[in-house]
């Protein structure tokens, strides 16, 4: 019985999207020309290939974010048990954060944080 509604929703989703596409296909006039069938770029002519490279800066930021983001996840369970464990937990998480800090200082000094 639980799945009935799921199935209903799936069916409705398909019907809605499919119906929209079908109606526009049946009703809309179709007169393509060269300019119209170009990839949409605000009415301008496309410049250069579409496979442009992103600035490498994004990549470095992403790496830093990835590392710090995942590490930060450890602080939540720690915060939950911190009171029971007391000082030793504070000490250990201190080591953890200092190591992360080292990583940040290293990245900073290497010039990763500057936008080039």
Partner 1 sequence: MIGAEHFLIVSAILFAVGVTGALISRNLIMIFMAVEIMLNAANLAFIAFARIHGDMSGHVIVFLTLTVAAAEAAVGLGLIMTLYRRRGSVDASKFNIMKW
Partner 2 sequence: MNLSGANIDFTLLLPEISLAICGFAILLLGVTKRGKDFGFGLGLFGLIAALAFTVQQWGTLETGFFGMVTKDGFSSLYNIIFLLAGIISLLIAQTYLRAKKIDKPEYYALVLFSILGMMVMASSYDLIIIFIGLEIMSIPLYVLAGFHRFNPKSNEAGIKYFIIGAFASGFLLYGIALVYGAGATTDLRLIAANYHSMAQQAPLLLYAGVALILIGFGFKVGAVPFHMWAPDVYQGAPTPVTAFFSVGPKAAGFAALMRILDFGFDSMDEIQSVLWILAVLTMAVGNILALFQDNIKRMLAYSSIAHAGYILVALTVGGEGAVASGLYYLLGYTFFNLGAFAILTILDTRDGTDSRFSELTGMASRHPFLATLLAIFMFSLAGFPPTAGFFGKLYIFSGAVEGGFIWLAIIGVMTSFVSVYYYLRVVVACFFTKADHPFQQVAMNPYLALALIITAVGALGLGLFPSSWIDLSRQAFASFL
Phi, psi of 30 (to 5 degrees): -125, 95
With CB under 8 A as the contact rule, the residue among 73, 81, 87, 116 that binds partner 1 is 73
Contact residues: partner 2, CB under 8 A: 81, 84-85, 88, 99, 102, 105-106, 109-110
CA distance 41 to 50: 11
| Options 8-16, 32-40, 72-80, 85-93: segment touching partner 1 (CB under 8 A) | 72-80
Residues 64, 107 contacting (CB under 8 angstroms): yes
Does 112 interact with partner 1 (rule: CB under 8 A)?
A: no
Does 63 interact with partner 1 (rule: CB under 8 A)?
A: yes
Give the DSSP letter of residue 112. T
**Residue 88 binds: one of partner 2, partner 1, none (C-beta under 5 to 8 A by kind):** partner 2
């Amino acid at each position: 019985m639980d799945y009935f509604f799921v199935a209903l929703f799936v069916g409705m989703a398909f019907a809605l999207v499919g119906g929209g596409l079908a109606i526009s296909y049946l009703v809309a006039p179709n007169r393509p020309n060269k300019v119209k069938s170009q990839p949409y770029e605000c009415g301008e002519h496309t410049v250069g290939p579409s496979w442009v490279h992103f600035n490498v800066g994004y990549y470095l930021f992403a790496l830093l974010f990835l590392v710090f983001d995942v590490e930060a996840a450890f602080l939540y369970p720690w915060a939950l048990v911190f009171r029971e464990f007391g000082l030793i937990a504070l000490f250990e998480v201190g080591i953890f954060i200092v190591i992360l800090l080292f990583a940040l200082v290293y990245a900073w000094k290497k010039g990763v944080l500057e936008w080039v």
